[in-house]
Structure 1
Amino acid sequence: MIGPVADGVVDVHAHWLPRELFHLPPGAPYGALTDLDGELHLGEVPLSIAATAMSDVAAVRADMDTARIGVRVLSAPPFAFPVGDPAAGHDATDYVASFNDALSRVAADSDGALAGLGLVRLHDESAVRDDLADLARMPGIAGVAIPPLLRGESLDRGALRAVVTGAAELDLAVLVHPMQLPRPEWSSYYLANLIGNPTETATAVASLLLSGLAEELPLLRICFVHGGGSAPGLLGRWEHAFGRRADVARSAKRGPRESFRDLFLDTVTHDADELDLLVARAGSDRVAVGSDYPFDMAQPHPVAFAVDNGLSPTSLTTAGRSFLGLTPER
């Protein structure tokens, strides 16, 4: 239940996790988050992030001032998504409730400068609708954050489909964030992030568009981070296949180019030409500022990057508020 927010550009993609939840949910794939001499480590891997940047609201707000951001939408870092295997007994009920309660308090106490995207129990598809209904009632919470892939399925099936369907019904925003899933061929050079993350996101975009689910849910407000991953560059290929293959076109009535313009995307592209392509594919009214704070792959000056490359503060603010479901009066 999001109320009035502060003026200014909205950063739809930033991360926060309270220290008491650094242990991460049961079945987290990378090990616990730890503070070693002020620096964050995920399992044995240093993240090159100060622990305070992830956990302290004062640090979040200070970065907002530096980056000229009026409203920051906080979601859990992807390694805190509750993606454990129910067959292994991974039950994230307590973790999800604790995170959502903490996030709601932080957002509700921010005088409209912060909003939250909560978690739902992805290990229990039958609980998704109840968790979404709880989020819809929580002060400061605008929606939910989810991974693009879960146990071999994407947005068109299983628990992730239940999330996007329920969110559309309950007027909740959905942020889709990749998890940097490991593959042997991506074990070097940070390729699990550099190639894996854009590929995970493109898979989710394709599953939403080609399944026809985007058409079934016209009220869905869904944002894909990192500029939609590799999806903008693949739209031509998808459109070609849509016109020539029955298995690609069997579920959706509209082609992927048309449906892509229903999505929200953020500006974390790291490249002016990529941002230009994104705007051409989606339209400026669907491109919102993202920072990816506080990660090493963050866009350090997100508003300046977007404005210097042709987007106006007005269009950026409007896109961010539209994603949150805010009317001009709010």
Structure 2
Amino acid sequence: MSFSLRRGPVDVHAHWLSEELFGLPPGAPFGGITDRDGRLFLGEVPLSIETRLMSDVSTIRDDMERTGVGARVLSAPPFAFALGAEAGTAEYVDAFNDGLARVVRDGDGWFAGFGCVSPADSDAVFRQLRTIADTPGLLGVAIPPLMHGTSLDSEPLERVLHLATEYGLAVLVHPMQLPSPSLSKHYLANLIGNPVETATAVASVLLGGVIERIPELRICFVHGGGCAPDLLGRWTHAWHARPDVRASSHRPPEDGFQNLYFDTVTHDADALALLEAKAGYGRVLLGSDHPFDMADPDPVRHAAERGFPASRLESQGREFLGLPPVTR
């Protein structure tokens, strides 16, 4: 069955989860999600969003029409990522991918999807990625930046990158807002923790030589790459100054940075300008982070105000997803 995406700016960073999957995968570090009077809670923590914004497809479409998004690539919220291999984990991932495939199939080109995998289950991950690749409209896989103290240059996550590339899939890396005692106040687990998680993953790909081992890898780091653009000069200096920093890579980080993709969710015009200056033209994609509290509520307009016209947001999104260019 063929698949075509609706015309217009492509939002590569948006979330969906059916209410049937609010229990989250076995071993999820935060407990399940609950609906309390129409609002979502993660364990006892309020998510500050309405339940319908996460689960109701018609509501998501209404938001797209309001903001001028042509097509939206849906992925699981990061607390629904499967980090372990407990009994029932693969079944949860399969249920998410099946549900996402139905949303995409019934969406008339409004939606594409990034599926989920169980990286810790070496048998399941092969099957899941093959299924994603064989499902029309599921164009990639969403993964965490860290797993059990390792990142993208180590197993099991590097194996996912190899397989995704082999199957022609794009990869979206989304931070998990991991708890830390030093970040327990002022929402710092998100405001500082998320950018650092993402920067750690970017550094692992560059300094760990991942893009040299997988040159065809199409990988996008959300939230503008976290604090990676600000740290890139520091990494490059260290790469030249220290043999241990360059031991696993043959190219300085500033060169490899231009092989990566990022999204526009920076909440700051200067930060977005720095990101594009470091990454290069064509490497910054439209993102919204719908429906979370840290989402950009008007992503197409804000991107246009910062030099990213709608036509560019469409063509670059399609390129990242491996779709043919539009004919005008």
Structure 1 residues 1-330: aligned runs within 5 Å:
3-84=3-84, 86=85, 89=86, 91-329=88-326
Does structure 2 retain, via aligned residues, the 8 Å contact 1:226–1:267?
yes
What is the Cα-based RMSD across aligned positions, in Å?
1.3
Letter in structure 2 aligned against 1:271: D
CA distances 1:218-246 after superposition (whole Å, capped 9, x unpaired): 21110000000000000000100111111
In structure 2, distance between residues paired with 1:172 and 1:274:
28
In structure 2, distance between residues paired with 1:250 and 1:274:
30
In structure 2, distance between residues paired with 1:329 and 1:323:
13
Aligned residue-pair number? 327
In structure 2, distance between residues paired with 1:29 and 1:95:
15
Letter in structure 1 aligned against 2:73: V
Alpha-carbon offset, residue 91 of structure 1: 4.0
Does structure 2 retain, via aligned residues, the 8 Å contact 1:119–1:144?
yes
Alpha-carbon offset, residue 106 of structure 1: 0.5
Does structure 2 retain, via aligned residues, the 8 Å contact 1:129–1:162?
no
Alpha-carbon offset, residue 140 of structure 1: 1.6
**Identity over aligned pairs, percent:** 57
| TM-score of the two chains, using structure 1 as the length reference | 0.97
Does structure 1 retain, via aligned residues, the 8 Å contact 2:202–2:228?
yes
Call closer, same or farther: CA 1:7–1:316 in 2, change over 3 Å. Answer: same
**Which blocks of at least 5 consecutive residues in structure 2 are unaligned?**
none
**Which blocks of at least 5 consecutive residues in structure 1 are unaligned?**
none
Alpha-carbon offset, residue 279 of structure 1: 0.7
Alpha-carbon offset, residue 301 of structure 1: 0.5
In structure 2, distance between residues paired with 1:223 and 1:303:
18
Call closer, same or farther: CA 1:36–1:95 in 2, change over 3 Å. Answer: same
In structure 2, distance between residues paired with 1:159 and 1:66:
40
In structure 1, distance between residues paired with 2:291 and 2:196:
22
Question: Helix, strand or coil for the counterpart of 1:188?
Answer: coil
| TM-score of the two chains, using structure 2 as the length reference | 0.97
Following TM superposition, where does structure 1 have runs of at least 4 consecutive aligned residues deviating by more than 2 angstroms? Answer: none
Question: Helix, strand or coil for the counterpart of 2:251?
Answer: coil
